Structure 1
């Protein structure tokens, strides 16, 4: 950009080293290289605040150069410090919509100058900053992103959008003068138009140029966004600014002022770039909300758990009742009436020695009147919840003999599900078969024989299965008649066959596990 001295990347490294060595001429070199550039950039925000912002930015750079991790980013770092200082001063002012537009030099082309002034005002704040830092100040997309806190991709997209908007607007004016013969559509749109373009017609022409290959090629030949920005005059700093910066940096009497300036701007990230106050507060805000959100989630979870455990409506406090099963018998309201006794199942008749059921007394409701709460409409509207009955497990049932004379039979039965069993006999007894399985609802009989029928004794047969365990205790007297050997195969029988009438002492134990 003509008007200020050009600085190469190699000079940036030398300048950083001079500042770190605290050379006496380092502040003067720093201002001579970047003073005018930074003042022009600060003036794009506020003309009256530019000089003070550049002064504090250069003093901060001289005192905090050790925070810059990469000397190659010296240029972007200085622009970021200037932006931080000018925005800090603008934060104390009443906010104004938009960015103040610069005064343009209208001597070259008044119509084009007014167009550039109007088009810059149509750009957003970030798009205008990206356009000026990239084209006017020569920063790379990575450097612009470091200054504005954007990624290189975001900078590239905003630069392309701002460049196209500015060049299309300028091309509408220039091609309206010289490009009618190349594009019939453009010529038709300008037919009958004399004098300066109206804003509405200029916008129509800009839209046409953006979609027309012929007009786009003409725009690239005749229009350049960088040259259009040359119409914006440079905001040169006052002559006294250089002396102020050098005096504050090297004069020992200004140590207190220098310390105040560096402390006010002492807010850097890991790479050494300044961090705005609003950015820090925006980052901390979600952390402050995290405990509140966590506490709210815990309260909701606790409330839901209490509703599930107590089974009560939160709003009315009415306990939830399950509807009675349709298959359940009705309860008599007459105290003198007995409820019918259910008939015993055939399975229990087969395995139980005494098939006579015991009558069950009827349940009589209390004669005291109990107020019944009417369920709320909220519960009446939905279906009444019912409890599902648990599926019963397999059960082993045994029928022990009342007496044993050489040999006897023990009945085994299975309820609810199939049962696999194993029999174990104590000393003096023998059992056949020693293991087997019974299908659900079935029964079998096994033989128990006395090893020495002539000698008296006591014994025990224990059964283990997936339906529980059971045992039969037997006793016998000696000198009894010999008993024929049992058959090889067990006999299925619903009732055990009584042995010959020899009086013995027998214990019948039964253990059921559901």
Structure 2
């Protein structure tokens, strides 16, 4: 399968992290951790050293991030570094075994709580043939374990074949041959797994395994497979196999264990650091994915007061906010909840200095025009409570528009949204849950002040801009006025979204078209398009198709990634609003989320909105814990 990189950061985040934005660096590491953990865990088969290898990999990534010349190549670069660290670990382990042959058992004992096949089965809730595939991986030859780690992620959609081949240093054709051979081994092992679990089972098989200790090995795979192939009783277990790629397609990344990093925190704090920027500049960088000598952190070379400091420290279960220095990594055990679901789009925003893409005139879709949509402005004081902790987010694209209400913080945590915004540069009264990102907004011309711009810059790598400038009740400004103020927004260094028009984003000569043409003429940067859409047709199929047509038309005109920052079903008639039933709205949430996940140029979307009131009947939560039917559909959406 061709992967889409569901758990990997977009290019804009990489660029912001390279430029020294600490929030972007935090997010970059947090978003990379699940992928690294899944590769290392499966390759090492849950060995007790998984924590150490993951930590050393991330230290290496941060240390050499500035050396990455093509931010769009971050994913294969990350995977290559991970494979290099796995191979370094294997080399060190073999050396230790030769030196300490008498204590071989100590080195070979796996962590019984981290058997990756069993953890995969339990945490992903695998049943039937998917469970058989996971169990069959225990029987592979040891040389195939790192290939398995990458191939599993290819089949589940996290990597593509080019990433896999590059990480292993193979051509695509050579990688294909190795994968074919490994899949044959897994298929053979599936027959063994079935035969051993069969009831009433085969008497000859029971006799054959009477002296076996139960540990899967390649040797026993070959012996048992030979018996299954020749045995009339066991032969029936070789039938009715579903293809492996169909069984693994769409599975999420394996969630991080709740205690991940606890045991290794003290050790890493003692040695996992990097030189300060000054020292790094004086030392030629080493290619972290190269083929040179293996790398091992040198405790004597670590400057813990410098820019990296301690990678893992403190309690597990959250990624703490980093210190405001150029490359402080993540203070916390890096156990985050952003581990499953759909990816950020592979269509990443352009580099910060890039000009707007050439404009192309194409037929525009015609969404229902939007009259004003009032938004509440939070006025409550900032909460002093600890961050709300909710279930793991289910999609890196999925977000929600939020304003303060009783229980807003808990509702946000329970929503499984990965990001949110509230039409402001701060979020007073709303506590950001662990693993969720707040995105600031410069809402209107009056918000373009030094204080607001400073607050927006500090809030994170992305910045939303003028809200519905084409409506008098909202930002109410001309494209020329927005362009005059735009250089001040560019100066924040953030990844910038266009003003979010209420309607007509694909129309030639419309508000957005005039703004984008003006940005191109003035050589002003616009990194992604922000759009709003409200559907007046409550038929699910029609509504989803209309939304898809609109988004596609806008993308075809500007060729810039899209954030859909407000959307729902809502029919504006005679100056009022008519809403669908809860069941209709919920059906639209489910179907539109699948559609949006399939559009590579849609990087993020945000439902309107979190609170459910008599006025805002598309809302997700009535209280912090009471979800509407729409809210339950949103929670389940991927």
Q: Report the TM-score range of the alignment, normalised by the length of the smaller protein.
A: 0.3 to 0.5
Flag the structure with more relative contact order, 1 or 2, with Cα contacts below 8 A and sequence separation at least 6.
2
Bigger Cα Rg: 1
TM normalised by structure 1 equals 0.37
TM normalised by structure 2 equals 0.31
